[in-house]
Amino acid sequence: MSYTFSRRDFMKYSAVAAVAVAGSSMFTGCGSFSNPNRPFGTYNKEADCKLTFSGKSGGFLGIGGTQDYLVLNKGGSYTSSSGTLNLEFTHYPISEGTGITAPHYQLKYVTDDGNHYVTSADGSLTSTGGDGLEINKEAHAKVTVTIPTNVKADVEKAKAVYIQYFPRHNALGKDNDTYGDVYATWDITSLFKPTT
């Protein structure tokens, strides 16, 4: 009996293995199978929600390298009376040029008439984090969103509410410009729903 593989068999089984490994992320943590440049997770305030851009640094062809990660830490809260959302993040970058200042985050909420955002542009969103994160070292940020009074009711009744993180900001050196094709999203709708 021969144990040789044809090139076609090798490619077929390699593809199956790659899909199996990628698909396994659907069953762990809060993440779901998605575009590696746009990881997505559903947050539960009782547990950390860890995502990754699937980037690796070091090792041989990425094998044995260091994996990046982005964590929305457990314990997030929203206080309706003040319209204040408090979240804590842990970031572990593996490439230069990332940051966790306020412009790297935005609150996105979805209503019947489309997507809307609360950003740092008017001071509604603040962060304790900095820019120029050191690679292969954890960085922490506390993000506070004070939802403007004129949209507070819309956010609280929204179909969905998300917090988004853009690792590299100011692609063109402007505060309102990001590398918009790479970002992480956490569904935080549960923080805005009253517990029963």
| Assigned domain for 14 exists | no
| Assigned domain for 101 exists | yes
What is the pLDDT of the chain when averaged over all its residues? Answer: 82
pLDDT value, residue 179? 54
* Distance separating alpha carbons of residues 80 and 170, to the nearest angstrom: 32
Contact 186, 51 (CB under 8 A): yes
Q: Containing domain of residue 46, as a range?
A: 34-192
DSSP state of 68: P
Residue 153 has pLDDT above 90, yes or no: yes
Helices (H), the chain: 7-23, 149-156
| Assigned domain for 15 exists | no
Residue 172 has pLDDT above 70, yes or no: no
Beta-carbon-side half-sphere exposure of residue 4 (alpha carbons within 13 Å): 3
Identify the CATH number of the domain in which residue 81 sits: 2.60.40
* Distance separating alpha carbons of residues 166 and 179, to the nearest angstrom: 7
| Assigned domain for 131 exists | yes
Q: What is the pTM of this model?
A: 0.79
| Assigned domain for 174 exists | yes
pLDDT value, residue 160? 97
| Assigned domain for 19 exists | no
- ∠73-182-161 over CA atoms, to 5°? 50
pLDDT value, residue 177? 53
| Assigned domain for 81 exists | yes
Lowest mean pLDDT among 38-42, 54-58, 72-76, 103-107: 54-58
| Assigned domain for 42 exists | yes
Please give the tally of structural domains in the chain.
1
